[in-house]
Amino acid sequence: QFVPRSEHVLHVLLVLASGLRVVRRVHGHYQTPGEVASLLLQHVQLPHFRLIPCGEVVLVVSRELPEETERITVAEMAPVLGYWDLRGLGQAIRNLLVYKGVQFEDKRYPFGSAPDFDRENWLKEKFTLGLRFPNLPYYIDDDVKMTQSMAIMRYLARKHDLAARDEAEMRELDMLEQQARDLAWGLVMAVHSPNYTESRRKYEENMENVLRPWDELLQGKLWVLGDRLTYVDFLLYEALDWNYEL
């Protein structure tokens, strides 16, 4: 995509096409458009243009344009992930996007402290974003408008080759996804119990039983499926880190 269109477009296209052939030859194991776009920048040099990775698009910007125009254009094209200004259901999605090199707007809504838990900033926008079921987190990327954290996570996993590749992997990841979520939300339930001290004591006493199956699963593996990273690893990391921090 060019900002703005100019008489140099044909030349730029030819240079980019040549660079793409190099990327495919040298980096054939990279599959997703975002990965290819990022690698393309390493093999292409254009003296009159700046090349900017923006999700799955390489933005070609004339060097004569002010940088402010560049920033506005990139911001308009970037996907938006909206969530509260905390980790919660949004952090695993953020981590996945950052890991895949996706440039996105990390829109964080203030979540007020007790007892009011003010949500004014979110409520002002909630019904203006074109979301079918307005909620947080949400993910907007052009015509894609989604809510529900796991729906977003699975969508991005499929898009970035972090999902199951066959039926056996799908069965395994479906189960491990829920186990990872249970690990996180078991802690949440313990922390928010009216009898916090007793609830935490029982939770800690049971931690060995909870973690033992994960320990056995991960023996000799880099990730839950073995040598290949999947979206469930991001969920599991969040769950383990919550327990470590608290």
Q: Are 181 and 209 in a shared domain? A: yes
Residues 6+ apart with CB under 8 A from 173: 163, 164, 224, 225, 230, 231, 232
What is this structure's pTM? 0.71
Given a cut of 70, whether residue 187 has pLDDT beyond it is yes
Q: Residue 128 is part of which domain span?
A: 78-159
The reply to whether 73 falls in a domain is no
The reply to whether 117 falls in a domain is yes
What is the average pLDDT across 83-107?
94
Residue-averaged pLDDT of the chain: 83
The reply to whether 71 falls in a domain is no
Q: Are 172 and 154 in a shared domain? A: no
DSSP state of 223: B
- Domain end, chosen from 139, 159, 179, is at 159
What is the average pLDDT across 28-54?
62
Given a cut of 50, whether residue 95 has pLDDT beyond it is yes
Q: Are 24 and 82 in a shared domain? A: no
- Domain end, chosen from 43, 65, 87, is at 65
Q: Are 57 and 117 in a shared domain? A: no
Q: Are 49 and 118 in a shared domain? A: no
Give tens-digit pLDDT for 138-158. 999 988 999 999 999 999 999
The reply to whether 179 falls in a domain is yes
Report residue 216: phi and psi, to 5°: -65, -40
Given a cut of 60, whether residue 203 has pLDDT beyond it is yes
Q: Which amino acid is at 185?
A: W
pLDDT for residue 169: 98
Look at residue 126 and give its three-state secondary structure.
coil
Given a cut of 70, whether residue 63 has pLDDT beyond it is no
- Domain end, chosen from 106, 132, 159, is at 159
How many domains does one find in the chain?
Answer: 3
40/21 Cα distance (integer angstroms): 9
12/10 Cα distance (integer angstroms): 5
Give tens-digit pLDDT for 122-136. 999 999 999 999 999
Q: Are 152 and 182 in a shared domain? A: no
Give tens-digit pLDDT for 223-234. 999 999 999 999
Given a cut of 50, whether residue 2 has pLDDT beyond it is no
